[in-house]
Amino acid sequence: MLTSTLLESRQRWQDFAHIGADLLFEVDAGGCFTFLAPDPVLGYGVDELIGRPASMLVAGRGPDPFRGDLAVHDLKTWVIRADGSRRCMAFRVSRLWSPMGMHIGLRGSAHDITTGEALEAAAAAALRRTATLDHLLHRLRNEVSAVHQVRAALSAILPALGCTGIAVVRTVPDASDTAIHNIGEPFHWTSSRPWLRSRKDTFLITEGGTPLAVLPHGEQNGRSTMLVLWRPPGGRNWSQDDQDFAHSASELLRVLLGTEMQEQELRRQARTDALTNLLNRRSFLAELSAVMACGDAGGALLFTDLDNFKHLNDTLGHEAGDAALVKLANILCDAVRPTDLVARFGGDEFVLWLHGASSAVATARAASILSTAATSLGPLCHHEGPKLSLSIGIAVRAAADIETPVELLKRADASMYAAKRAGRACWCLDEGTRTTTSIAGPTA
């Protein structure tokens, strides 16, 4: 009866142990299994593992609960199952002693926490993403312009994803790709690589040993862009958490880029004339003031006005008039250098600033413009009516002068009206204090 009770008690505790643990074990002082339960365990037969080093079950360089002589409580480590899969287990280990007080091994139990660990890791990753996005949004609130918001966002995304570089790349059909924003170390790509230009969806590759992520934004406002991220050569590949965060960041950037493009367009519209795309009056005066603020701001201002433009509008309509204005804008653009300025001042009046030009250079440029205008603008009118031509007033400013842009414009405007009084289709030069006004024809 006593034996039966003891056996029943032993079985009861054995059952409790099996219910409470996925692995029961003992190892000797050398770290080899001397006892295992249940059978099978982790897909292995117990007989396969008895006498073998227990550390063979530990995955990678994780903490080893089967070595050493210290008791542990809830030590988490990854172990390898017989089929090669991995499970995360929490170990509780105590030391075994001989009757003589010698340490002879370890006894312990473990239970599988893989599912809970995965949920905890996912929750932690979500919290990290949320915290990073909160930080990113906080930075964006402190920026005024969209371009600064884009760069602030890129600067926040870079460390959040462990990247060495991040760029927004603009793709243009049959042209080279351009990095319109670039933060961190440069990455050299070429437009000939088909994977960068042809893909419409997100893809992750390793290019020359460099983990690379490309997230196309598609086309908005007539421009196609993509987010490109890269890690150092040999760096870790993109986890699912990385991909989820990159997608969220890319969507935010797509919105910011759209706002940036709208800002650029509004800025362009505020600076330019809608018909000719030249600088408007306000922008020209601002640019000229900035130029004159420099010490070497000598040059010549040409004030041009179309002759007989009202007759063209009255007889052929405003579309013909607009075509003439666009044609004249092209003529003037072809006559200036990158350092010069050209603008539509209003109606049929245009102005040019020839930076550093002398009287001789200015009059030669005016003569060339008059000659081109006679050839290009004349055919736009009816043969029986007056022909389109130009009257040009020239005002020269020496580098040492303190004359303001408004004063210079007044002199050029007065010279233009002098050219009209002289018969039109000619230029008139005002050199300021050095000479009096003189008048000459278009070929002078």
Instruction: Tell me, yes or no, whether 87 and 127 share the same domain.
Output: no
φ, ψ of residue 442 to 5 degrees: the values are -65, -20
Closest by CA to 317, choosing from 372, 273, 382, is 382
Instruction: Tell me, yes or no, whether 137 and 95 share the same domain.
Output: no
Closest by CA to 78, choosing from 49, 44, 129, 117, is 117
Please say whether the beta carbons of 302 and 347 come within 8 A. Answer: no
Instruction: Tell me, yes or no, whether 135 and 72 share the same domain.
Output: no
Instruction: Tell me, yes or no, whether 289 and 436 share the same domain.
Output: yes
Give CA–CA dist 88/114, Å, rounded.
5
Q: How much is the pTM?
A: 0.51
pLDDT in tens, the chain (444 residues): 555 555 455 555 555 445 558 899 999 988 999 999 888 999 999 999 999 999 999 987 778 898 876 778 888 888 999 998 888 899 999 998 988 888 889 999 998 988 877 677 666 666 767 777 777 777 777 777 778 888 888 888 888 888 889 988 887 766 667 788 888 887 665 544 555 555 555 667 666 677 888 888 877 766 788 888 888 877 778 888 888 888 888 888 888 888 788 877 777 777 888 899 899 999 999 989 888 887 676 899 999 999 988 888 888 888 888 999 999 999 999 999 988 999 999 899 999 999 999 999 999 999 999 999 988 887 777 666 788 899 999 999 888 788 889 999 999 999 999 999 999 999 999 876 543 344 555 544
Task: Evaluate whether residue 405 is within a structural domain.
Answer: yes
Give CA–CA dist 405/382, Å, rounded.
38
Instruction: Tell me, yes or no, whether 130 and 249 share the same domain.
Output: yes
Tokens 């029986």 belong to residue:
384
Closest by CA to 65, choosing from 99, 94, 98, 35, is 94
Please say whether the dihedral angle defined by the alpha carbons of residues 311, 312, 315 and 319, taken in this order, is positive or negative. negative
Instruction: Tell me, yes or no, whether 263 and 328 share the same domain.
Output: no
Instruction: Tell me, yes or no, whether 265 and 315 share the same domain.
Output: no
End of a domain among 84, 112, 140?
Answer: 112
Task: Evaluate whether residue 5 is within a structural domain.
Answer: no
DSSP state of 386: P
Q: What is the pLDDT of residue 327?
A: 92
Task: Evaluate whether residue 259 is within a structural domain.
Answer: yes
Task: Evaluate whether residue 6 is within a structural domain.
Answer: no
Give CA–CA dist 39/20, Å, rounded.
15
Please say whether the beta carbons of 423 and 439 come within 8 A. Answer: no
Tokens 């590759």 belong to residue:
205
Instruction: Tell me, yes or no, whether 290 and 228 share the same domain.
Output: no
Task: Evaluate whether residue 10 is within a structural domain.
Answer: no
Q: What is the pLDDT of residue 170?
A: 82
Q: What is the pLDDT of residue 113?
A: 87
Instruction: Tell me, yes or no, whether 105 and 126 share the same domain.
Output: no
End of a domain among 112, 147, 182?
Answer: 112
Give CA–CA dist 299/251, Å, rounded.
49
Half-sphere exposure of 112 (CA within 13 A, CB side): 13
Q: What is the pLDDT of residue 191?
A: 46
Instruction: Tell me, yes or no, whether 327 and 251 share the same domain.
Output: no
Task: Evaluate whether residue 347 is within a structural domain.
Answer: yes
- Domain range for 418 is 281-440
Instruction: Tell me, yes or no, whether 256 and 314 share the same domain.
Output: no
CA dist 54 → 32, 36, 345, 373 (Å): 5, 10, 88, 94
Tokens 């070497």 belong to residue:
296
Task: Evaluate whether residue 182 is within a structural domain.
Answer: yes
Q: What is the pLDDT of residue 316?
A: 85
Instruction: Tell me, yes or no, whether 208 and 107 share the same domain.
Output: no
Q: What is the pLDDT of residue 252?
A: 84
Q: Total domain count for the chain?
A: 3
Give CA–CA dist 12/18, Å, rounded.
10
